[in-house]
Chains A and B, each alone.
Chain A
Amino acid sequence: MKNKSLVSITDFSKSDYLKILDLAEEYERHPVKDILKGKVVATLFFEPSTRTRLSFESAVNKMGGKVIGFSDSSSTSVTKGESLYDTIKIVSNYCDLIVMRHPLEGSARFASEIATVPVINAGDGANQHPTQTLLDLYSIRKTQGKLDNLTIFMVGDMKYGRTVHSLLMAMSQFNATFHFISPDELKMPEEYKIHLRSVGLRFYEHKDFTDIISEADIIYMTRVQKERFSDLIEYERTKNAYVLKNKMLVNTKENLRILHPLPRVNEIDQDVDQSPKAYYFAQALNGVYIRQAIISLILGLN
């Protein structure tokens, strides 16, 4: 992994994932390690994402490194029309690693080709956000004690949700069984179903969000966004059909945990927060450890 960019979850192998998760566990036990002393990490956020940026910056600081960068492009030369190419060329001279978020899809792949230092993709439009996926894997392994042979229910927007697509690609290496619960308009795209068939994994599609979740080890909730619907009447009809409520958890498994990439709108009722099966807030905390692990492996400093 040393000196390798992390643009897409498929850039890393299964053994890379496991190495990252193991190291993240180590950071959870001992978060402060002075291994980034004298190193500079650039966080280039061409669009704001406070939570992701703070998580990366916290990770760098805990390891004794320094952060340079910007939190949205309005205060930079980008607003003067500088190309991404020029920005990346110049920033490469100032740092050992680039963490980048950009509204255009493919921007991180392009940056990784130009930069003379490794690039970590912190989100390129609707395309990829691999550190989120690794954090999801970490949360799954931590709560289930394993990654293999789990039953995963994904609920809400299967069509546009990049987090569910990346998680599907990653978990498909661990013999998972998938259930997708979504309205017809937001069904899982064919290309992902083709992938699952090609690797011989079982998956089931459902329209109704009911007591079928009794088999679930993991429920991964996502937002159903209004702008995804061409028919607003259809949106009004479906928006409350994919909400998880505490009473739905009655017959679920003891080891079930509920994940959500956050922020949530209304898709998880607040009454679920009290349940020991709610894991979405702890999930966000794990992000710092996972990012510490990724940064130190890419810089070859662990």
Chain B
Amino acid sequence: MKDKILEVSAIENGTVIDHIPPKALFKVIAILGLDKIDNQMTLGSNLQSKKLGKKAIVKLSEIFFPDKDINKIALVAPQAKLNIIKNYKVIEKKVVEIPDDIIGIVKCMNPKCITNSERIITRFKVVSKNEVKLKCYYCEKITDQDNMEII
């Protein structure tokens, strides 16, 4: 297992996000704002995985996320596993959990929702976590997993 994680290239200190579905990789990048930071990072996609068939992996040097930030990726990568690395060793493993409220990130699927025509940060209450269902704070309509679009 350890060798697998190191397949792309090892990092000394930082976070490895493993078991990302390949099609969710760029959504994870967007949610975590990885396109806006200068740290060294390695991305791998369409790697072999027993669990997912194919998976993507992100290695971030010198980055450690608070739970409330990293949990946001559960929307698109519910099975993601985190490995916290110190001195080339995994010192902690974590899973992600969908938060109770989603602020920003997701677009409301209701075309008649005010958030789709004014500049508004979207807000949702997570009404179901197994099969993700988000209730818009503004229009009160449900955006489900199949219709979820990351802003």
Contact = CB atoms under 8 A, between A and B. Distances in A.
Interface of A: 8, 83-85, 102-107, 109-110, 124-128, 191
B41 interface: no
Contact of B113 (A105, A128, A191): A105
A85 B114 CA distance: 11
B112 A109 contact: no
Contact of B118 (A8, A83, A125, A126): A83
B138 interface: yes
A109 B138 contact: yes
Given A109-B114, A127-B139, A128-B140, 8 more contacts: A84-B118, A102-B114, A103-B112, A105-B114, A105-B140, A106-B137, A107-B114, A127-B141
Interface centre among A105, A107, A124 (most CB of B within 10 A): A105
B138 A85 contact: no
A103 B120 CA distance: 17
B127 to A, nearest CB: 8
Nearest to B108: A106
Interface of B: 108, 110, 112-115, 117-120, 136-142
B5 to A, nearest CB: 42
Contacts of B139: 104-106, 124-125, 127
Given A125-B112, A126-B112, A106 B119 contact: no
A106 B142 contact: no
A266 B114 CA distance: 33
Nearest to B142: A191
A110 B112 contact: no
A105 B112 contact: yes
Contacts of A105: 110, 112-114, 138-141
Interface centre among A83, A84, A106 (most CB of B within 10 A): A106
A267 to B, nearest CB: 25
Nearest to B122: A106
B138 A110 contact: yes
4 A-B pairs closest in CB distance: A106-B138, A105-B139, A106-B139, A106-B114
Nearest to A104: B114
Contacts of B117: 104
Nearest to A10: B140
16 contacts: A83-B119, A102-B114, A104-B113, A105-B114, A106-B113, A106-B139, A106-B140, A107-B114, A109-B138, A110-B118, A125-B112, A125-B139, A127-B139, A127-B140, A127-B141, A191-B142
A193 to B, nearest CB: 14
A85 B113 contact: no
Contacts of A84: 114, 118
A106 B136 CA distance: 9
B85 to A, nearest CB: 42
A128 B141 CA distance: 11
Contacts of A83: 118-119
A167 to B, nearest CB: 16
A110 B120 contact: yes
A228 to B, nearest CB: 15
Contacts of B141: 105, 127
A147 B43 CA distance: 62
Contacts of B113: 104-106
A103 B112 CA distance: 8
A79 to B, nearest CB: 15
Contact of B140 (A8, A85, A103): A8
A85 B118 contact: yes
A110 B120 CA distance: 8
A92 to B, nearest CB: 16
